[in-house]
Amino acid sequence: MAEGSKQGGVESRVCAARVIDAVYSGRSLSDALAMPCVQGSHQPFIQAICYGVFREFPRHKHLLGHLLNKPLKPADSDIDALAQAALYQIDCMRVPPHAAVNETVQAARRMGKPWASNLLNALLRRYLRESEALNASLNGDEEATLRMPAWLTQRFRQAWPDGWRGLVEASGRQAGLTLRVNRMKIDPKAYLQLLAEKEILAHPHPQLSEALMLDRALPVELLPGFSEGLVSVQDAGAQLAAVLLDAARGDRVLDACAAPGGKSCHLLERAGGELDLWAVDLDAVRLQRIRENLERLGLTAHCSTGDATEPTGDWGQGTYQRILLDAPCSATGVIRRHPDIKVLRKPGDLTALTDTQRRCLDALWPLLAPGGMLLYATCSILPEENELQVAGFLERHLDARERPIEADWGLARASGRQTLPGENGMDGFYYACLEKIPG
């Protein structure tokens, strides 16, 4: 085998740099990883680098700051990405350091920036010589040691004065793979048996009957019956939504921010496919993902592009027995699965997000039938998007009351319930059940 091919060659480094650079310019990592260059036998290597770079962020950003005499220009963010990828290979992967350096230097040439190959060569070789001292110099820097942007740590600290450090640390750990078994096709115990036959180690989740937790992540194609719809990948905290919404067969149900459709599909599976389900999302491209998931699982729903702050068209007519609002949010509860959040989120985002959440809640409420229930959900651990948002809603809507969630998971908040990242293998989710008082 040619040197470097086992750990990916020059092309893999170029591709990883392009993906990382796309995230720098605002694209989500899961979206950027759909680039054609990622596909193929080096996909696991490229994915490992890209996820790793954002898990390590901003530690390597600080290291680069020390290693560069002057900062790179904004137009050379691809070279910054290439350097980040190299530091990750050297520090955290079993890539021989000389291979990481050589392939990175060649990658800069392949990217049409030969001037950067000299720079990277010198910078990475210096890092190999002085890594101990350079890493030690970061010891006093909280941002580098916690691997979390300072402004996000500050938000965690304000929200959870006692447990913030544990939450930051849990957000930096790699999350395991959790499956949701499609009961319409197979019983969870029988699926566990199928996994055992393939020597895939898994165990049932203690609180969620359809959730199985795998000991080791693996590509979905290796899961028995994945393409036939026997299982889906879904965090256990996300699986709480369908349990809490508790839709009955025949109910008209609206999932107002539905893409890529994980919770919509789970709702349908639990009702044997017998819901009049309307899945709406603002993003037409992401809406297509709902259709693909429905098809793989053998389910049907009405899928529409739409804005939950302004219900229109067929989905905006009539009333629903159940509404799920899985609102756009800071995603501070899912950083362990989506470490790119550390780069994508900006301090000012929260104001716009809480405003959208409020407008969605107010616009959807008239669509709920008297006696019906709206489940408000976020994957945030910040009170302004969660219990404070719900408190404001209850003040504005006198025909609404909260149904407390009695559960053996999460923490009761002033309103609603919160899971925290890492708790029983779950991500950080917030849920509140809002009932419409029959008039």
Ligand X SMILES: C[S@@+](CC[C@H](N)C(=O)[O-])C[C@H]1O[C@@H](n2cnc3c(N)ncnc32)[C@H](O)[C@@H]1O
Write out the catalytic residue numbers.
379
CB of 270 to ligand X, least distance (A): 14
Q: Indicate the SS3 state at residue 409.
A: coil
Task: Verify binding: residue 90, ligand X, rule CB under 6 A.
Answer: no
CB of 173 to ligand X, least distance (A): 21
Asked if 28 interacts with ligand X (CB under 6 A), we say no
Site for ligand X in 134-193 (CB under 6 A): none
Among 259, 268, 297, 343, binds ligand X (CB under 6 A): 259
- Choose which of 49, 152, 257, 426 interacts with ligand X (CB under 6 A): 257
Nearest distance in Å: CB 292, ligand X: 12
Q: Segment near ligand X (CB under 6 A), from 71-79, 182-190, 256-264, 412-420?
A: 256-264
Using the contact rule CB under 6 A, the part of the chain among 61-69, 254-262, 296-304, 414-422 near ligand X is 254-262
Q: Determine the Cα–Cα distance for residues 434 and 376; give it in Å rounded to an integer.
A: 7
> Residues 325, 316: contact at Cβ < 8 Å?
no
Q: Rounded to an integer, what distance in angstroms lies between the CA atom of residue 17 and that of residue 78?
A: 6
CA-to-CA distance for 171 and 146, rounded, in angstroms? 10
User: What's 269-285 look like in SS3?
Assistant: HHCCCCCEEEEEECCHH
Instruction: Yes or no: say if 16 and 108 are a contact pair by the CB < 8 Å rule.
Output: no
Binding mask 297-316 for ligand X (x = CB under 6 A): ----------xxx-------
Task: Report how far residue 237's alpha carbon sits from residue 259's, in angstroms, rounded to the nearest whole number.
Answer: 17
Backbone angles phi, psi at 181, to 5 degrees: -85, 135
Which residue number, 376 or 409, has a Cβ lying nearer to ligand X?
376
Q: Which stretch binds ligand X (CB under 6 A): 102-110, 117-125, 194-202, 255-263?
A: 255-263
Q: CA torsion 155→158→161→166, rounded to 10°?
A: 0
Near ligand X by CB under 6 A: residue from 18, 42, 59, 263: 263
CA 48 to chain centre: 16
User: In the complex with ligand X, which residue's Cβ is closer, 259 or 343?
Assistant: 259
CB 85 → ligand X: shortest distance, Å? 28
Q: Does 283 bind ligand X (CB under 6 A)?
A: yes
Binding map of ligand X across residues 189-228, x = CB under 6 A, - = no contact: ----------------------------------------
Q: In the bound complex, what is the minimum distance in angstroms from residue 423's beta carbon to ligand X?
A: 19
The residue within the footprint of ligand X, chosen from 208, 258, 400, 433 (CB under 6 A), is: 258
Q: Which residues contact 415 (CB under 8 A, 6 or more apart)?
A: 387, 390, 391, 394, 402, 432
Phi and psi at residue 48, to the nearest 5°: -60, -45
**Shortest CB 424 distance to ligand X, Å:** 19
Q: Which is nearer to ligand X, 12 or 356 (CB)?
A: 356
Residue from 52, 316, 328, 383 binding ligand X (CB under 6 A): 328
Binding mask 226-245 for ligand X (x = CB under 6 A): ------------x-------
> Which range in 21-29, 38-46, 190-198, 259-267 contacts ligand X by CB under 6 A?
259-267
| 433 phi and psi angles, rounded to 5 deg | -95, 120
Closest CB 331 distance from ligand X, rounded Å: 7
Neighbours of 150 (CB within 10 A): 13
For 88, residues 6+ apart whose C-beta sits below 8 A from its C-beta are 49, 52, 53, 56, 60
381 by Cβ neighbours in 10 Å (0-12 / 13-18 / 19+) ranks as buried
Q: Are 429 and 377 in contact (CB under 8 A)?
A: yes
Q: Footprint of ligand X on this chain (CB under 6 A)?
A: 238, 256-263, 280-283, 286, 307-309, 326, 328, 356
